[in-house]
Structure formats: structure tokens, C-alpha cells
Chains A and B, each alone.
Chain A
């Protein structure tokens, strides 16, 4: 009888011992795709499209940015991502397809708060490309400016047509960087990371809001270039506007 009890006990230990580790969520980890689309007042942005901006017209040619500490309900699921939307300018179709950044190993479940930093977070911004491999998001030397000792958090470039004759007279270029212009984006949105397959979060970025998102139209004509990290007035304003240009769908 003792032997039977002993065998039963050992069997039970064996059965429970072979069970899943209650802390092991690896089977619930899924891919979350972040899809970014550029729009201007709701219209897809392409390189040769003229957009009305008060008394002038704008064309966009380049848009890139870093995001840091992408979090769901306060849990960081991606430390850094570099989003280069250059390929989206080539056609309406490409613009509507957007640029996707995939985050692996996100715990399946329901979430209601999304937050991320626009730019490179302070600890990572103390590093530079020489500390990474060439294919790392932070290894692009073209996105780091040694003069600022900072990554270039965002680049927005294009042309402006002040006399509305269809031929842009001037270009504009706004490059932002350095810790003081880092912005945090908080969005309230119910999302579900599916337990089967991958899920997608759609973001629209309204480029018009970069210039007038604060209700005060930015004077592109008089300040057509800004990449000066010693004067943060323009950088702060445009980066703050950019943070408010994100909408989750």
C-alpha cells in the first residue's frame, strides 16, 4: 500500500512538474505591426502632389523619424525604431500602403493606452552609430549629427510655391534633434493583440499639422531651413506639432 501511495505521489509530481511554467508567456507572444501613413488634410502624400497651405502650396520630399520606448499600457514593447517613409512618396498606392515596422514578441491581449517617444530617448541618445552595427536602427551614420552629439530625431523636407504658379520657388528643410526636443506621444485607443496571427496598429501622420497643429501657421517663407541645435525655438515648436500630428486609427 505504501508502495502504491509512493508511486501515485511520484506520478503526480511528474504530471505537474511537466506542466507549463506559469510565468512562461512565450506561447502568447505575437507580432504587432505598426503601420504609418502620411496624409495632408486626409489626402495621401506623394512627392509631386501640391497641397494648399494658406496662401502657398507645398510639396513634400522626405519624412523620417525615430520612435523610442513604444509602450502598451505602460509596458515597453519596442525600445527604438527608425521609420523612413521615403519609399511612400513614389505613388498614391505606395503612400496608402505606408511603412510598416514590426514588433515581435508582444503579449497577446487587450490594451487601451499607447505611448511612445518621438526621437531617441536620452539614454540611447548618449550613444552614437559607432557603437552599433551598420544595420542597427541606431547604426545609420546618416541619421546622426556629430555637431549636435545627437541623432536626428526627424527630417521633413520639401518645396514651397509661394506664387502658386505650379513651380516651387523655394525648398524647406527641418531637421530636429537633441534631448530637449524629445517629445512623448500618448494616445488612448482600445486595441487587441490577437492570440493568433499578427495584429496591426494604423497611424496616420498629418504633415499639415507639423506646420499649423498649434493653431498658428508656421511661416515657411521666412524660416525655410532649420537644423540649428543651438536655437531650439523652431525645433521645439515643430517637434511638438509633429507629436500632435499622430493619430491612431
Chain B
């Protein structure tokens, strides 16, 4: 009798252990649930995008995914929900922290398996303005396309979309959210495409245009300090008496990027096949584009260290030292990367100016934070 009780206890313990194991999603994926949703109203409210400040262009939305308040709400939930990772430990927000202008402040990001990628997490601020050149190598054209990739990347969330769809379809709260956002009739209509659409809608709302720079330049309120102004004059080559730091050619306001793929001389390469990361060339197959990466925005740059596509520079001082040196040689180094001749004080002034691009109104915007 005692042995029988012991066996039952062991059996129950085993069931509990297995039940708590986060790896259980390796089990065969069951069918999607079929929760009827027609009793829930579908009456979405269109979202009106307001420009971050008067200097920005008008944002364009894809015709097949115009933002609604319900879609944005759903996308925000999914962005912060670890349900998208295989072991439910990581979400999009794990590598895109609002407080760090939606980067993770690591040189390269770590996925659920402890494996690291080769590139640094990119800022999602003003992401809608950076279409159609997303990721460091521009391999995604739209935010919808971009949002599909990390879930199944073994170095990131390492999940399967089939499993995610199945889990979400059986979650009655999410099922209603999808109904309200997209008008589906049954939870079995939840697809990865709808997940990506909602996340993209949320990401398009992430806007930064309220920094000290914006207040002074676009709202004409206040003035730069002497050192900020010096930095600005060198950044934009506004005064012939000061050196031209050549920053503005690639970092043009209001986005502070020219949205081009460039080789900024951070790697020495004897030939076009000598780069440790092929960057844009790895996507297009054109060797002349090897070692080229998208020029990132400088908005909130003081919050997004470390720098470069592989996070090799820990500080802005290191970045300025690199550009001041003229960079390393390679066959396709950009013509703009040449020795600048900046003094230590001039480099400091440029960094002081870069700090005016910090926008804590955006990073602390309640609408961008976790809804959980």
C-alpha cells in the first residue's frame, strides 16, 4: 500500500515537472483552437499619425495595414510578451528597451539559448521613417517583413511560427484582441502575418522628435550653449573658421541619417572579400557593397552605446577618435572618411552637441512602455 502511494507521488511529481518545463513546446504542435469571436464587436478606430515635429516628413503606411488603435494595442502587447520566444523568456522588448531608445545597450544581442548574434540591436525610434531599408544590411523592406524574422531566428527567439499561432489561437484574451484589431471570426484565423502587422503598427508609433535640438531648431525655443553651438557648427560645417567634421553628409536632420549603405572605414580590408561581416553585400551578392552598412540615426545616440553594427566602440569618444583618424583602408571605403584634424576640445564639443539629440520625452512616453 505504501509503495503504491510512493508510486503515485512519483508519477504526480513527474507530471508536474514536465508540465513546468518551458521546453515542452518541442512537443508536436497541436491544431489551432477555434474560438468563435463573432460575439465581439469589430469596430476599429483609425489611428492618426502626428509628425514628431514640424521638420519631419509625413509618414506613409502600407495600404494593407493602416494603423488602428486596436491594432497598435495588440502590437504593443505582443512586442512586450515573451510568448514569442520558445521558452517564454524573451520578447521583442528584451533587445529593444524603450529607455535605451529601443536598443539593448549590448555590443551584440543574446538570444534565448545564450547564443549571441554578430550585430548590435538597432534603435526602433522613428522606425516607420526608415522603411524600406531595415536591419543593418537592409534585408527587410517593411516593418511587417522585419517583424517576422526574429521569432524563428535560432540566435534570437528560436520559436516556430506554427507554435506561436497555435498558442495565441488558444488564448481567449489574445483571440479577442485579434478580433478587435483585424475582424477575424475565429481564433484559428490568427496568423504570423497578423502578428507581424500588429507589431508593425505599434512600431510605426515609436517617434522621437522632442529633443533639446528639436526644441531649439524646429520650435525656435531657447539657444544652444557655446559648446553645443561649436559642436553644431562643426557637425554641419556652418563656420569656415572651424574644421568641417563632415558628420552632416551622412547624418542629415530630421532623421539624422541619409539612409544609405556606406563603408565608414571601421575595418581594414585588403580586398572586397576581406571584411569580417559582408553587410549589404551579403544581401545583394554585389562584392562592391561588402562591408557596407546602413547609416544609423544619431537621434538618442547618447542612450544607445555601444556603437557601430558590431558594438565595437563603447563610447562616443571612441567613435569620434575613429572618424578623426580617417578610418582604416579598404577598396570601397567611403570618400567622406578622411582625417579630420579635430582637437580634443573640438571632439568634446561635437559630443556635447550630440547629447542635444537625446529625447527622454520619447523614451519615457507611456504609450511606448510595457502594457503588462
Interface residues of A (CB under 8 A from B): 46-48, 61-62, 86, 89-91, 94, 129-130, 132-136, 139-142, 144-147, 157-159, 170-173, 175, 227
Contact = CB atoms under 8 A, between A and B. Distances in A.
A171 B338 contact: yes
A90 B237 contact: no
Interface in B319-338: 331-332, 334-338
B59 interface: yes
B318 interface: no
Interface string B226-252: 000000000011100000000011001
B262 to A, nearest CB: 10
B238 A134 contact: no
B84 to A, nearest CB: 28
Nearest to B218: A130
A190 to B, nearest CB: 37
A118 B55 CA distance: 26
A135 B60 CA distance: 8
A41 B174 CA distance: 64
Interface stretch (B63-71, B96-104, B253-261): B253-261
Contacts of B60: 133-135
B54 A171 contact: no
A90 B284 contact: yes
Contacts of B332: 47-48, 61
Interface string B48-83: 000100111111100000000000000000000000
Interface in B287-341: 288-289, 331-332, 334-338
* Residue of B56, B58, B129, B255 with highest tally of chain A CB at under 10 A: B58
Interface residues of B, number: 34
Contacts of A89: 288
A132 B286 contact: no
20 contacts: A47-B288, A48-B331, A48-B332, A86-B260, A129-B57, A130-B51, A130-B54, A133-B58, A133-B60, A134-B60, A141-B252, A142-B252, A142-B257, A145-B252, A147-B238, A157-B336, A171-B334, A171-B335, A171-B338, A173-B335
A139 B335 contact: no
B158 to A, nearest CB: 33
Contacts of B129: 134
Contacts of A90: 284, 286, 288-289
Contact of B259 (A61, A142, A158): A142
Contacts of A175: 249
Contacts of B249: 173, 175, 227
**Closest 4 pairs between A and B when the two form their complex, measured CB to CB:** A171-B335, A142-B258, A90-B286, A133-B58
A61 B335 contact: yes
Nearest to B286: A90
B286 A91 contact: yes
Given A90-B289, A145-B252, 15 more contacts: A48-B288, A48-B331, A62-B335, A86-B260, A89-B288, A90-B284, A130-B55, A130-B56, A130-B254, A134-B58, A134-B59, A141-B57, A141-B253, A146-B253, A171-B335
A157 B335 contact: yes
Contacts of A227: 237, 249
A155 B284 CA distance: 24
Most chain-A Cβ atoms within 10 A of its Cβ — which of B57, B258, B336?
A: B57
A159 B57 contact: no
A141 B335 contact: no
Contacts of B59: 133-134
Considering residues A135, A139, A142, A158, which has the most beta carbons from chain B within 10 angstroms of its beta carbon? Answer: A142
Nearest to A86: B260
B275 to A, nearest CB: 15
B57 A172 contact: no
Nearest to A129: B57
A178 B295 CA distance: 25
A99 to B, nearest CB: 15
A66 B122 CA distance: 31
Interface centre among B60, B257, B286, B335 (most CB of A within 10 A): B335
